Amino acid sequence: MKLILLGAPGAGKGTVAKLLTQLDGSVQISTGDILRGAVQAGSDLGKQAKAYMDRGDLVPDELIMGIMEKRLEPDCQKGFLLDGFPRTIPQAEDLKKLLVKLGIKLDMAVNIDVPRNVILDRLTTRRTCSNTKCQAIYNVKSMPPKKEGICDKCGSPVVQREDETEAAISHRLDTYNKKTAPLIGFYDKEGMLLTVSATSSEAVIDAIKKKLGT
Ligand code: ADP
């Protein structure tokens, strides 16, 4: 599978991507996970990205394209699920050029469409594994870890992300509407868009499988 996952923060891109990797060995490439890993490691990339991320602003396109050029080449043969990228029209245009250069054809861009009230509720109750190699996602209401505050998969503390305060969440949603939502029209024009209006990840997976004919 070679897919782009589009959708607001909290729409479930990460959860859907993780489920899809189990189907055929495609790899999840999450720019958010890569950036949080870089911030925790204190690398140059992390130092440049941190302030933007904490405010709920997008990291500059050049930084993101640098990451993606390095990641897509080795991973493209296995298939990939782009989670959180592209997020602006310039990123989508650069991705298009990069895919031509690498000789890769995307299957489609999946727009996961979830009502705003569901998104707000999810983001304030979401918790994430603090181990950057794991980053498993939980929800205090609907999917708590078996042992409170401890990741089921790796035993590390499960925490609330720094950009998941109410102010940062509201700013991230505004940024999404301004900068990322236009990508829906972009991929529609390219004839590549599948919109799925569903709040359950399983329903999203079923719609993707049906469209791919698998
Ligand atoms: P969410 O989709 O829940 O907002 P992510 O984990 O995808 O969260 O991203 C967290 C933060 O990382 C974003 O708010 C932004 O600052 C930065 N980021 C991630 N991907 C990109 C991207 N493609 N372009 C610019 N900034 C990005």
> Ligand 1 atom closest to Cα of 56?
14
Q: Is the pLDDT of residue 205 over 90?
A: yes
**pLDDT per residue as tens digits for the range 48-88:** 999 999 888 999 999 999 999 989 988 788 899 999 999 99
Per-residue pLDDT tens digits for 88-138: 999 999 999 999 999 999 999 999 999 988 998 899 999 999 999 999 999
pTM above threshold 0.85: yes
Ligand 1 contacts CB of residue 56 (under 6 A): yes
The pair of structure tokens assigned to 79 is 């298939």
**Residue entry with tokens 């950009």:** 163
User: Is 127 an annotated catalytic residue?
Assistant: no
pLDDT of residue 165: 83
Q: Which residue's CA lies nearest to atom 2 of ligand 1?
A: 9
Cα separation, 186 vs 95, whole angstroms? 12
Which candidate, 40, 39, 66, places its Cα nearest to that of 51?
39
From ligand 1's centre to the CA of 56, what distance in Å? Answer: 8
Give, using CA atoms, the residue closest to atom 4 of ligand 1: 9
- Options 36, 50, 122, 126, the catalytic residue: 126
**Rounded to the nearest whole angstrom, what is the distance from the C-alpha of residue 83 to the centroid of ligand 1?**
9
Please, which residues have CB within 8 angstroms of residue 22's CB and are 6 or more apart in sequence? none
Average pLDDT of the chain is 93
CB 82 within 8 A of CB 71: no
